[in-house]
Amino acid sequence: MSWDALVEHVGRIETLEGVMGTLGWDEQTMLPPKGSALRGAQRALLAELSHGWTTDPRIEGWLAELEGAADPVQRACRRNLGRTYTRERRVPPELVGAMARAESEGFQAWIEAKRDSDFARFEGPLTRILELSLRRAEAIDPRRHPYEVTLEAFDPGTSIDSLRDMFGRLRDGLGPLLDAIAARPQVEPIEDEIDPAAQEALHRDVARALGYDFDGGRLDRSVHPFTSGHGPGDVRITTRIEPRDLLSGLGGTIHEVGHGLYEQGLPHAHAGTTVAKPASYGLHESQSRFWENFIGRSRPFCGWLAGRARELLPGADLSAERLFRASNRVERGLIRVHADEVTYNLHIVVRFEIELALFEGRLSVKELPEAWNARYEEYLGVCPPDDARGVLQDVHWGSGAFGYFPSYTLGNLYAASLGRALEEERPTLWDDVGDGRFGEVLAFLRDRVHQHGHLDETPERMKAAVGERDHVEDLLSYLWQRAAEVYGVERG
């Protein structure tokens, strides 16, 4: 049957993607610096091979046979594979290889530039990545805005106009909240020095309690935390640990655990059909933000965490109330990955506007540091003192991931609605969390999101999961409620 041939072919592509994912994980965790050129050549070769398989002419015939299919998996395969096939067949193989090499070079250049806080060392590689990204977008569809073509790879159906509307509503809604919090006494952060080895033990304990399967995954350290799903039974997460910033590192681990749980819960029985894949990056981010924020910053979770900390961090003075207040401290800061929930989306606004300006030619790579600093002063009231804490803080552009950042805000919105729906449906939710019983929370996400993979597009999956909801309002009301608990503010 043609369907069997298609599944076998796509299965080979997915296996190759897993190999490439393993090389990418190794590059960010264990690869010696002198191996970057070799890794670039390896990734380029595999990327060209994957591109060839993804654009195999037989796919067009297989997709034609699936037109009007009654089976939902086959319908989803036709939609998902059809979109990928249409996009990738328009990109020349030599451009695919050049992009893979540029991304490996860019990642290593970013590491060195960030280490030395010297954007000039990154300017050339980033300029090359941007040029190739624009060429790729033009090859895929020269009639569309290149940034929307790029966005489609992460969140199909997302438009520049929809993002502008979303960010506009959030800006308008977050302003009064930030002003209300600024009028209240500030919450003290937790800056106690805690042994990194003890912190790592706590991270692993929390990850296991939330449901992360260590028999099918790993937890390692990297410069920038990430999750790498290589296929069934191999989902790896990384984190960072800082002696005087317990909550930042732990929050990063919980965030990546959310990603890992999604990958581990995908419908792997449908491997080779495109359905055993995440529906979008925004939905993927919703899983990490749900666990990191909705659960991980809640008062009941902090009560449970205080008990685990007493056992695993002997000598640390970490009461439930101290953990809760510090976890929800709001401050206009420089670093996105350290940002609180209230200011986080303003960090994304900065990146979205800069990416759009780069893709429209209104901003050059050379002008990035100045543009970055100006927007941080305007939106967050702070100015980076150096490039490392400014334009070089994220790995994304060095890895060629233009268009990824909006997915974080989409994830925050979806997570808020999932949280509201869970609260309404499970009255014992917070009692369970306070007792360290997370199984029902994970079961809810497995049922509503994970097990469906890419059977539906994200908007349809979210509607099926939580019904008709205003995601922006869900996020704003949740943030006001959490701030009320910590700062005593009231929404006008």
The residues annotated with a catalytic role in the active site are 256
* Three-state SS at 6: helix
Half-sphere exposure of 63 (CA within 13 A, CB side): 20
* Three-state SS at 377: helix
Half-sphere exposure of 3 (CA within 13 A, CB side): 12
Say what the alpha-carbon torsion angle 466, 470, 475, 479 is, to the nearest 10 degrees.
-110
| DSSP string across 470-491 | -HHHHHHHHHHHHHHHHH----
Determine the straight-line distance between the first and last CA of the chain, rounded to whole angstroms: 63
Q: What's the CA gap between 25 and 44, in Å, rounded?
A: 16
Residues in a beta bridge with 239: 221
Backbone angles phi, psi at 221, to 5 degrees: -105, 145
Which stretch of DSSP H or E encloses residue 259? helix 246-264
Tally of helices (H runs) and strands (E runs) in the chain: 20, 3
- Pair of tokens at residue 465: 């999961």
Helices (H), ranges, 270-405: 281-289, 299-312, 320-327, 341-359, 368-380
Type of residue found at 472: V
Helices (H), ranges, 435-470: 439-448, 458-466
The residue behind tokens 């009301």 is 477
Strands 234-239 and 217-221: parallel
- Pair of tokens at residue 261: 């749980």
| DSSP string across 37-55 | HHHHHHHHHHHHHHHHHHT
293-296: long-range contacts at Cβ-Cβ below 8 A with a sequence spacing of 24 or more? 293/341, 293/412, 293/415, 294/415, 294/416, 294/418, 294/419, 294/478, 295/254, 295/433, 295/438, 295/441, 296/250, 296/251, 296/254, 296/327
Strands 217-221 and 227-231: unpaired
Q: Which conformational region is residue 64 in: left (phi greater than 0), alpha (psi within -120 to 50 degrees), or beta?
A: alpha
- Give the number of other CB atoms < 10 A from CB of residue 424: 11
- Give the number of other CB atoms < 10 A from CB of residue 443: 14
Q: What's the CA gap between 220 and 226, in Å, rounded?
A: 10
DSSP state of 216: G
